[in-house]
Structure 1
Amino acid sequence: MTDATPDSAPMHTAFDPQALPPLREVIARFGLDARKALGQNFLLDLNLTGRIARSAGDMTGVTVVEIGPGPGGLTRALLATKAKQVIAIERDHRFIEALQDVIQAADGRLSIVEGDALEVDPIQIAPAPRVIVANLPYNVATPLLIGWLGRIEEFVSLTLMFQKEVADRLVAKPGSKAYGRLSVITQWRSDARVLFNLPAKAFTPPPKVESTIVHLTPRANPEPAEWKALEQVTAAAFGQRRKMLRQSLKSLGNAEALLAAAGIEPTARAEEVDVAGFAALARAFKAR
């Protein structure tokens, strides 16, 4: 990752989101109904999209990757920042035409990549320094995050919207019901913090759940562990989370010896072990 931000970002024409047609007008003109199969819920309140963009931090000279711009509410807010460029990945072809007004108003700072975000590598399409800011479709939010966490050092930050239940899992601490595999992997690779919640009524159509914005930055000194080994030990441990680890880890071989090598009590349960403990387990498992 490139740490340095250019001393002076290229000058560009100030972008005014209010100068464009209202989002509801764009939706009506192009017949952009939200498709449940694609996890689409539109955030049309420009005050809220502006708040999300600002919460991502100073974006001077940074390339922003957005996932699923839809009618362009968050896209407009991102262009109103000092970002060098915004690259939006959109799977639904209907929105490509609808975003043309925004592209023209963006003075060369907005480009659209048509494709599935699960298959498009943001590192390949966006030069460093890069961030991701996105209202993620709920149905692909977790696999997208896991993919990015594997190379999070390539990003300055990720500012992402999840359904609240998932966001709670990302930041959950040992001993809580929400603490699980996703908590361990997220906190192993990143510093994650909840920024704010968004009520269902803020969206069109309103989802059945509350949403939460989470900000993630690369962890400076992650516990040494191999990704695959950590996935295996957390899958075994949390697959039977109510059992003691000496039972739940039996599928990995000699559980008692594995726990002893990691310095973990065999009577402990998965939800009691912190990230450092799981990293130690992963190292012991890999070594064996």
Structure 2
Amino acid sequence: MSMDQLPPLRAVIAEHGLNADKRFGQHYLLDLNLTAKIARLCGDMSGATVMEVGPGPGGLTRALFSEGAARVTVIEKDRRFVPALEQIGEAAPGRFSIIEADALKVDESALPFEGERMLASNLPYNVGTALLIKWLQADPIWWTRLVLMFQKEVAERVVATPSDKQYGRLAILTAAVAKSRYAFTVPARAFTPPPKVDSAVVVLEPLPEDQRFSDLKALSTVTESAFGQRRKTLRKSLGPAASQTGKSAEALLEIAGIDPGARAETIPPEGFFKLAEAWRAARG
């Protein structure tokens, strides 16, 4: 059986009784044009292992193979989907594997692979941000490209730049290790069942190793504090992080070369990298 001979996704969903489960933030993307468009954002997959989190009935999975993926590994928490996914395995013998697990608990770097490792996913809304942060903090970075669909608001936060309304901690953590771009918007009506908001796809590629800011734990601490009270100046909002160092917020900001009277949303990622270094050094 080839990929083209697989039954239509709607038939698979009906056959196996795969109603979307709101607990897992499930919304199926059944439009073949859209799944193909997402898969093509991975680029050349002919020598790659592509990972997918939350494949559901396998719409994007099929597209990844159709667009040239050499191998695909899916991580699925909801075992209801396993029989439907196994049909895809029959159409791609020796090139497909299923891991039944919670993606938040999986060590992707330990999984077998050949060639480049990419990841493409229509992420469950309820864990999308947590998964992205996990992959950004991976040490070493195991992925060469991430093609991820989030709620549109989250996607905008990933790619935001200083002074954007959406600019904050997520954009800075992303900029520390990767280049990101907003690919396209996916309207809510494209999904079954339709969510209440639109979605969007972003593409991330890791920066060269010597250009990455490696201490994301320190960066996470200072950005969480700095953006915790967005309307306040950094002199005031940075207090919780500064209290862990024995130095005042003003002292840390002075070391980092940042105006204590500025607000967090005006500071570029590089400023926060310096602030994280100052915080780490003060901690000893």
Question: TM-score range, shorter-chain basis?
Answer: over 0.9
C-alpha distance in structure 1 between counterparts of 2:192 and 2:231, whole Å: 39
C-alpha distance in structure 2 between counterparts of 1:225 and 1:264, whole Å: 21
Q: Secondary structure at the match of 1:118?
A: helix
1:237 equivalenced with 2:232 (yes/no): no
Give the match for residue 130 of structure 1.
Answer: 117
For residue 270 of structure 2, the aligned residue among 271, 276, 279 is 276
Change (3 A) 1:202 1:224: closer
Count of equivalent residues: 274
Q: Considering only aligned residues, what root-mean-square deviation do their CA atoms show, in Å?
A: 1.4
1:255 equivalenced with 2:249 (yes/no): yes
Indicate conservation of the 8 Å contact 1:223/1:276, yes or no.
Answer: no
Indicate conservation of the 8 Å contact 1:195/1:215, yes or no.
Answer: yes
**Structure 2, unaligned stretches of length 5 or more?**
none
Indicate conservation of the 8 Å contact 1:16/1:80, yes or no.
Answer: no
For residue 140 of structure 1, the aligned residue among 106, 111, 127 is 127
Give the match for residue 162 of structure 2.
Answer: 174
- Once the two structures are TM-superposed, the CA of residue 124 in structure 1 deviates from its matched residue by 1.4
- Once the two structures are TM-superposed, the CA of residue 100 in structure 1 deviates from its matched residue by 2.2
Indicate conservation of the 8 Å contact 2:50/2:69, yes or no.
Answer: yes
Give the match for residue 211 of structure 2.
Answer: 222
C-alpha distance in structure 2 between counterparts of 1:70 and 1:223, whole Å: 34
Give the match for residue 116 of structure 1.
Answer: 102
Give the match for residue 48 of structure 1.
Answer: 34
Percent identity between the aligned chains?
53
Give the match for residue 11 of structure 1.
Answer: none
- Once the two structures are TM-superposed, the CA of residue 98 in structure 1 deviates from its matched residue by 1.6
Indicate conservation of the 8 Å contact 1:163/1:211, yes or no.
Answer: yes
Q: Secondary structure at the match of 2:104?
A: coil
Indicate conservation of the 8 Å contact 1:225/1:282, yes or no.
Answer: no
1:29 equivalenced with 2:15 (yes/no): yes
1:102 equivalenced with 2:88 (yes/no): yes
For residue 136 of structure 2, the aligned residue among 149, 172, 185 is 149
Change (3 A) 1:223 1:28: closer
- Once the two structures are TM-superposed, the CA of residue 223 in structure 1 deviates from its matched residue by 5.1
Indicate conservation of the 8 Å contact 2:230/2:265, yes or no.
Answer: yes
- Once the two structures are TM-superposed, the CA of residue 241 in structure 1 deviates from its matched residue by 1.4
Q: Secondary structure at the match of 2:56?
A: coil
Q: Secondary structure at the match of 1:179?
A: coil
Q: How high is the TM-score relative to the length of structure 1?
A: 0.91
What one-letter code is carried by the residue in structure 1 that aligns with 2:265? E
Indicate conservation of the 8 Å contact 1:168/1:178, yes or no.
Answer: yes
Indicate conservation of the 8 Å contact 1:61/1:82, yes or no.
Answer: no
C-alpha distance in structure 1 between counterparts of 2:11 and 2:214, whole Å: 51
What one-letter code is carried by the residue in structure 1 that aligns with 2:257? G
Give the match for residue 6 of structure 2.
Answer: 20
Q: Which moved more, 1:217-226 or 1:103-112?
A: 217-226
Q: Secondary structure at the match of 2:205?
A: strand
Q: How high is the TM-score relative to the length of structure 2?
A: 0.93
- Once the two structures are TM-superposed, the CA of residue 16 in structure 1 deviates from its matched residue by 5.3
Indicate conservation of the 8 Å contact 1:225/1:279, yes or no.
Answer: no
1:81 equivalenced with 2:70 (yes/no): no
- Once the two structures are TM-superposed, the CA of residue 38 in structure 1 deviates from its matched residue by 0.8
- Once the two structures are TM-superposed, the CA of residue 275 in structure 1 deviates from its matched residue by 0.4
For residue 258 of structure 2, the aligned residue among 256, 261, 264 is 264
